[in-house]
């Protein structure tokens, strides 16, 4: 292939005008509408309705939905920069936006029929939250050992079983649910269904009481002879594993963006405090040891950010990005936890109490090594792709 025919990838740190406008809008919304309510929502373990409504009003829930379905017609990279900016203020709202965009809407865009797009995308663009239901008690990293079963009965599918750890479970009006229609065929029987609250036999179970990202709901889903119309099969019967794999590969970049946001938020707080706090007659930021620590953290954040952006740009250019997505998710989650931990130490005793922001960033960071593929699974993926 001649050099001049290679796909063009925008410079990693250079944003287009539209990308910069969305970043600025997301940052303004986060600082103005979300920031005053962070601790209230964390304590209550619940997102405020006005903030969820604001996410829709700001267009943050419709970034990649085509304009003909009432969306913004934006890009995957635009979703990434929005998730990063929101997570810099509150990672719980960040993952609320992330799952809706990088998992649910991406799955609809790539796999839904025209009929399903017409029925669901306008709702997802304007007022309906999406959730993605793959995990079960016995299928975490072994994602395709699903126990949820689906049996065809006339023009309906009957689902029986449970899902666990479902982000946006409490708020969602549309769920993408993965079940096995042919267990004897293993992963080739996995099929994706679109389920809505109110469908017979479907209910929301326990809401988890979590360490971090507490305002983001994480719930159990219960299916007891749940009736799902045949027209609500997403993609093809037996192709659910492919939908899950491809969607999660993109979703990991979104989690990387969330982790970069966490790291930046914790670092911002630590840097500001280091310039204000005085000990021995001068600010603690004037001590060389503190300067070196802040310099190291800033460098690691920038590297994590570049890795996330690289994976996102490769995905948009239609180039292979699986290894880069795994690297970005792995490294950014390491950096987020490390930066948040160091930020607590910069604050000293104040860093350990909820009055200051860094202890929440530290709690929020931990999930990055667990969901949408654990650190061990990312390392396994990277190792397989080294050649």
Which CATH architecture group holds 132-238?
Answer: Beta Barrel (2.40)
Q: Which helix (H) or strand (E) holds 72?
A: none
Q: Which helix (H) or strand (E) holds 228?
A: strand 218-229
Which of these is catalytic: 136, 324, 334, 372? 372
Is the pLDDT at 142 greater than 90? The verdict is no
Instruction: Tell me the backbone φ, ψ of residue 162, rounded to 5 degrees.
Output: -135, 155
Q: What is the pLDDT of residue 139?
A: 85
Cα separations in angstroms, 7 against 77, 158, 163, 192, 385 = 16, 45, 40, 32, 22
Residues 25-61 have pLDDT tens digits of 999 999 999 999 999 999 999 999 999 999 999 999 9
Is the pLDDT at 7 greater than 50? The verdict is no
Distance CA(127)–CA(62), nearest Å, equals 10
- What are the residue ranges spanned by the domains of the chain? 8-129, 132-238, 241-384
Mean residue pLDDT across the chain: 95
Alpha-carbon torsion (134, 381, 366, 40), positive or negative = negative
3-state secondary structure labels for all residues of 194-220:
EECCCCCCEEEEEECCCCCCCCCCEEE
Q: What is the DSSP string of 111-150?
A: H--HHHHHHHHHHHHHT--EEEE--BTTBSSSTT----EE
Q: How confident is the model at residue 3 (pLDDT cuts 50, 70, 90)?
A: very low
Q: 8-129 with 241-384: one CATH topology?
A: no
Residues 351-387 have pLDDT tens digits of 999 999 999 999 999 999 999 999 999 999 999 999 7
CA proximity to 311, closest of 369, 253, 380: 253
Q: What is the pLDDT of residue 138?
A: 86
**For the residues 141-159, what does the mean pLDDT come to?**
93
- 3.30.365.10, 3.50.50.60, 1.20.140.10, 1.10.3720.10: CATH of 241-384: 1.20.140.10
Q: Which residue has the higher pLDDT, 2 or 194?
A: 194
- 1.10.167.10, 3.40.50.2000, 1.10.287.110, 1.10.540.10: CATH of 8-129: 1.10.540.10
Residues 324-361 have pLDDT tens digits of 999 999 999 999 999 999 999 999 999 999 999 999 99
Q: How confident is the model at residue 307 (pLDDT cuts 50, 70, 90)?
A: very high
Alpha-carbon torsion (228, 216, 367, 64), positive or negative = positive
Cα separations in angstroms, 141 against 17, 131, 186, 288, 353 = 39, 19, 16, 43, 34
Asked if residues 238 and 189 have their Cβ atoms less than 8 Å apart, the reply is yes
**For the residues 118-132, what does the mean pLDDT come to?**
98
334 is known as an active-site residue: no
Is the pLDDT at 4 greater than 50? The verdict is no
């Amino acid at each position: 292939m001649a050099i001049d025919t290679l796909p063009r990838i925008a410079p990693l740190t250079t944003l287009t005008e539209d990308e910069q406008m969305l970043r600025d809008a997301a940052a303004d919304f986060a600082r103005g509408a979300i920031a005053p309510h962070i601790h209230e929502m964390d304590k209550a373990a619940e997102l405020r309705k006005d903030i969820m409504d604001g996410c829709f009003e700001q267009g943050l829930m419709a970034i990649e939905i085509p304009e003909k379905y009432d969306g913004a017609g934006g890009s995957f990279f635009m979703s990434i920069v929005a998730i990063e900016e929101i997570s810099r203020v509150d990672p719980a709202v960040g993952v609320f936006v992330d799952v809706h965009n990088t998992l649910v809407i991406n799955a609809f865009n790539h796999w839904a029929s025209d009929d399903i797009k017409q029925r669901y995308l306008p709702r997802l663009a304007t007022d309906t939250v999406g959730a993605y239901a793959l995990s079960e008690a016995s299928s975490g990293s072994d994602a395709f050992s699903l126990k949820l079963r689906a049996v065809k009965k006339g023009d309906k599918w009957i689902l029986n079983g449970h899902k666990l750890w479902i982000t946006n479970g409490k708020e969602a009006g549309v769920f993408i649910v993965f079940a096995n229609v042919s267990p004897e065929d293993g992963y080739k029987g996995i099929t994706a269904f679109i389920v809505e609250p109110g469908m017979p036999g479907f209910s929301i179970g326990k809401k988890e009481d979590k360490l971090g990202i507490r305002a983001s709901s994480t719930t159990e889903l219960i299916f007891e002879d749940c009736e799902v119309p045949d027209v609500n099969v997403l993609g093809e019967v037996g192709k659910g594993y492919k939908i899950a794999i491809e969607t999660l590969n993109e979703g990991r970049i979104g989690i990387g963006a969330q982790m970069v946001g966490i790291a930046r938020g914790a670092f911002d707080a630590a840097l500001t405090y280091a310039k204000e706090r005085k000990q021995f007659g001068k600010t603690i930021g004037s001590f060389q040891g503190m300067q070196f620590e802040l310099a190291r953290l800033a460098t690691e954040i920038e590297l994590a950010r570049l890795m996330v952006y690289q994976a996102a740009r490769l995905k948009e250019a239609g180039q292979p990005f699986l290894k880069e997505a795994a690297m970005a998710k792995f490294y950014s989650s390491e950096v987020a936890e490390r930066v948040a931990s160091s930020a607590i130490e910069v604050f000293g005793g104040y860093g350990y109490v909820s009055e200051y922001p860094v202890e929440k960033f530290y709690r929020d960071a931990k999930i990055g090594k667990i969901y949408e593929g654990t650190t061990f699974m990312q390392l396994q993926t990277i190792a397989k792709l080294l050649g």
